[in-house]
Structure 1
């Protein structure tokens, strides 16, 4: 990976973190401010993702070799890493959505009847299992690559 590509990617990552905070913190806290901060965050996330894809597939990807072997990483290895990242990320997003729904319902049920605490914790734990399954699958994908 060239130095220019590494610097460009690092700058894009730093800006994708700092600019949404600036948009969020600037001005009054209104509904439009939250939408602007979310829109900026999404735009910069996908912009950084696009820059990373250009660096990765633009021929500037680092060559991965084992102990002096002249073995280079191919397209399948890169796609394997992308698949592992997507599996982990999407399963964590799904698990977060499931925990948000289950936990809010559990809090409502517990506030009405204290005896349902055990059952509600089981449902929240099952929702968290989705993220763990994605993590296990990504470890299996990474195991095949290495």
Structure 2
């Protein structure tokens, strides 16, 4: 029962979070309807968050032996590796978006006035700092495994 719930609950949570926004991203709803869907999405997310934090200790209190067996089998290490990968990947994606916005602006500023090179370089480097911080977090996660 615990194994089935550990598969079904995350899928259900993911569907409940994503489904209100499908038509918004496809562009098939008006702006007012999109605003309502986004509000529904936020309310549903926080409702699920509160529900999981309240119900999880009750539901999994009886399964402490199963949790101990799962952590011994390497599930905790697997989730740790997954967390490190997500931290690195999403921070690199964010850094790419930041540099994609800052670098053309920096090139334009330098072409107008070459004295702006130092200031422009700082803004591009700040975007790259996001990736470095994500890599640092993933190294810290890997050190605890």
Q: Name the TM-score, length of structure 1 as normaliser.
A: 0.52
Given the alignment of the two structures, is residue 40 of structure 1 paired with residue 55 of structure 2, yes or no? no
Contact 1:13 1:48 in 2 (8 A): no
Which of the pair has more CA radius of gyration? 2
Deviation per CA, 1:28-76: give whole Å up to 9, x if none: 2x2x344334323333433454455467544268521148xxxx97xxx
| Matched ranges for 1:44-83 at <5 A | 44-50=44-50, 53=53, 57=57, 58-59=59-60, 62=67, 63-66=70-73
For these two proteins, the number of residue pairs brought into alignment is 125
Q: 3-state DSSP class of the match of 2:72?
A: coil
Contact 1:110 1:117 in 2 (8 A): no
Partner residue of 1:99? 98
Q: 3-state DSSP class of the match of 2:20?
A: helix
Q: Name the TM-score, length of structure 2 as normaliser.
A: 0.52
Structure 1: gaps (5+ residues): none
Alpha-carbon distance in 1 for matches of 2:124, 2:138: 22
Partner residue of 1:113? 112
Partner residue of 2:20? 19
CA drift at 1:113: 1.5
Specify which structure has the higher proportion of helix: 2
CA drift at 1:16: 1.4
Partner residue of 1:3? 4
Alpha-carbon distance in 2 for matches of 1:56, 1:117: 53
CA RMSD, Structure 1 to Structure 2 (Å): 4.6
**Closer, same or farther: CA 108–118 of 1 in aligned 2, 3 Å:** closer
Q: 3-state DSSP class of the match of 1:27?
A: coil
Contact 1:20 1:38 in 2 (8 A): yes
Partner residue of 1:137? 137
CA drift at 1:137: 2.1
